[in-house]
C-alpha cells in the first residue's frame, strides 16, 4: 500500500486541544474528514484542514488516487514550550506555559474507492448589480396607510381622535 506523509510543525495550539479534533478524523476518508473539519468551530480545525489538503495535494503529485485515500494515522506531539511569568502580589510570579504542537498525518490508499456521502461546495459570493446598490428614491417607496391594512388595525385607525 502506498502512503503519503505531511507534517505541520510549531502550531501555536496546545497538543491536548489539537488531539481532540485529530481523534475524530482518524480512519475517515478524505472527503468525510474534510466535511468534519469544515463544520468544527474549534480553532485547531482550520490548521488541520489546511494540513489535510496539503497532504492530498502531495499524494496527487505522487500519482496516488485521491478517491481511495483515507487517514491511516494522525499524530499530535508536543512542540517547544514558551515559558513566561505573570507578576503576582507580594513579589511572587506565576509561570505561564505557551504550548505548541507538531502534527503529522499519514494518508494511505484503500483497496476500493470510497462512496461519497457528502458534497462539499465552496461558498459562492453574491455580487450586487448596479440597480441593487442604489437606494430607492422617496417617491418609489410605497407607504402603507392604515386603510390598506386589514382586521384590527383597520378598525383601530378608523376611529377619530378625541
- The one-character DSSP state at 112 is S
- pLDDT of 46-105, one tens digit each? 999 999 999 999 999 999 998 899 999 999 999 999 999 999 999 999 999 999 999 999
Calpha distance 13→140 (Å, rounded): 55
Residue with the three cell numbers 486541544? 17
* Residue among 26, 119, 107, 25 at smallest CA distance from 66: 107
Calpha distance 104→55 (Å, rounded): 10
Residue with the three cell numbers 402603507? 144
- pLDDT of 114-142, one tens digit each? 777 777 777 788 777 766 666 656 555 55
> In a 3-state reduction of DSSP, which class is residue 5?
strand
CB 16 within 8 A of CB 55: no
Domains and CATH numbers, the chain: 3-83+94-109 (3.90.470.10)
Mean pLDDT along residues 31-39: 93
Amino acid at each position: 500500500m502506498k502512503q503519503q506523509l505531511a507534517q505541520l510543525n510549531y502550531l501555536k495550539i496546545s497538543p491536548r486541544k489539537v488531539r481532540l479534533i485529530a481523534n475524530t478524523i482518524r480512519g475517515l476518508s478524505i472527503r468525510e474528514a474534510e466535511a468534519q473539519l469544515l463544520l468544527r468551530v474549534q480553532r485547531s480545525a482550520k490548521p488541520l484542514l489546511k494540513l489535510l489538503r496539503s497532504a492530498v495535494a502531495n499524494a496527487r503529485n505522487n500519482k496516488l488516487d485521491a478517491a481511495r485515500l483515507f487517514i491511516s494515522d494522525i499524530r499530535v506531539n508536543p512542540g517547544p514550550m514558551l515559558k513566561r511569568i505573570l507578576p503576582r502580589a507580594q513579589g511572587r510570579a506565576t509561570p505561564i506555559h505557551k504550548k505548541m504542537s507538531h502534527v503529522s498525518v499519514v494518508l494511505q490508499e484503500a483497496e476500493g474507492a470510497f462512496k461519497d456521502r457528502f458534497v462539499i461546495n465552496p461558498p459562492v459570493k453574491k455580487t450586487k448589480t448596479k440597480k441593487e446598490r442604489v437606494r430607492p428614491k422617496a417617491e418609489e417607496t410605497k407607504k402603507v396607510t392604515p386603510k390598506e391594512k386589514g382586521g384590527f388595525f383597520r378598525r383601530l385607525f378608523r376611529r377619530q381622535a378625541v
